[in-house]
């Protein structure tokens, strides 16, 4: 999902981009050309079955906290999954079709629903192995956050959950439907969490007490206690990424960065390292402050 909707109006390279989310920053760090094709050219991408499955689980966990505490059980979550699947079929049929194909192809409605449930059940069970939601009272779920960090840059994102104690301590929680990274490879995930913590700090003046990543795929969690010095370093890194994007936009050169992740890239046919031809770069888009509906496909 793009960070904002395209609107009319000029935007100089010096102020591009006007906003960054963790996912868009990581796009550029992963491969500048991928960032360009996804965020400037805005070339459509086929839905990823893994992303669709993850979004269904995120939707279920969001709705779970709308139910009374005593009803926050695995059977309730499974019922909510059916509701989320029915919603996806109506709102995003292409995404639903991608998941159906990944799970073995079309069948009867009951067969397809059963496959979706069977694929997501272990992830929901993984969540309940990590937390007891009946004991939690979140401050917010799927919360849009945004803050001005100077030089015309807004940082933004969607936080899966914010917990807040009576004393004002804040915990930011993010759900991951994959497996926890190996030791020494936590940097990308923690950059996302520090990004959210920085945004919260700039919004509220409060440094979150704890950042928590819940990996439902293998029932592991990672936690981190941020300090203001960490978040200032994260802010400098974000400005550095923004400057690198601006420099690339000024030159028109978004250099591809081959890696093992190329196998999962949607843009191989447009990448010179894969024998593709990159189209001329279009005019830079302008991004608006989101007032848009919450996307079903989770962008973080």
Q: Positive or negative, the Cα torsion across 45, 46, 50, 52?
A: positive
Contact 98, 47 (CB under 8 A): yes
What is the average pLDDT across 195-205?
Answer: 97
pLDDT interval class at 13 (50, 70, 90): low
pTM as predicted: 0.87
Closest CA to 149 of 272, 231, 246, 260: 231
Phi, psi of 247 (to 5 degrees): -65, -40
Beta-ladder partners of 157: 145
Structure tokens at 251: 């030159």
For residue 38, is pLDDT > 70? yes
CATH 3.90.320.10 fits 13-43+138-274, yes or no: yes
Who wins on pLDDT, 8 or 159?
Answer: 159
Q: Which helix (H) or strand (E) holds 114?
A: helix 109-130
């Amino acid at each position: 999902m793009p960070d904002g909707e395209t609107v009319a109006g000029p935007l100089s390279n010096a102020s591009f981009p006007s906003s960054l989310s963790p996912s868009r920053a990581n796009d550029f760090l992963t491969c500048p050309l991928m960032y360009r094709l996804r965020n400037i050219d805005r070339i459509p991408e086929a839905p990823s079955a893994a992303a669709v499955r993850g979004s269904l689980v995120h939707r279920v966990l969001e709705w779970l906290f709308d139910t009374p505490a005593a009803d926050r059980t695995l059977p309730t979550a499974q019922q909510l999954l059916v509701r989320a699947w029915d919603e996806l079929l109506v709102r995003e049929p292409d995404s639903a079709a991608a998941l159906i194909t990944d799970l073995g192809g079309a069948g009867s409605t009951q067969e397809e629903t059963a496959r979706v449930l069977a694929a997501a059940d272990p992830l929901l069970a993984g969540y309940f192995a990590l937390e007891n939601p009946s004991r939690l009272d979140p401050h917010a779920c799927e919360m849009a956050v945004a803050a001005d960090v100077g030089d015309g840059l807004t940082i933004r994102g969607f936080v899966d959950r914010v917990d807040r104690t009576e004393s004002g301590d804040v915990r930011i929680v993010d759900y991951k439907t994959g497996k926890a990274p190996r030791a020494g490879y936590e940097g990308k995930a923690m950059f996302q969490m520090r990004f959210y913590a920085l945004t919260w700090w700039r919004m509220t003046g409060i440094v979150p007490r704890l950042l928590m990543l819940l990996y439902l795929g293998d029932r592991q969690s990672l936690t981190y206690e941020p300090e203001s010095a960490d978040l200032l370093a994260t802010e400098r890194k974000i400005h550095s990424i923004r400057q690198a994007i601006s420099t690339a936009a000024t030159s028109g050169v978004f250099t591809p960065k081959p890696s093992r992740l190329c196998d999962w890239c949607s843009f191989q046919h447009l990448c010179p390292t894969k024998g593709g031809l990159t189209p001329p770069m279009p005019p830079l888009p302008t991004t608006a402050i989101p007032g848009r509906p919450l996307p079903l496909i989770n962008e973080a």
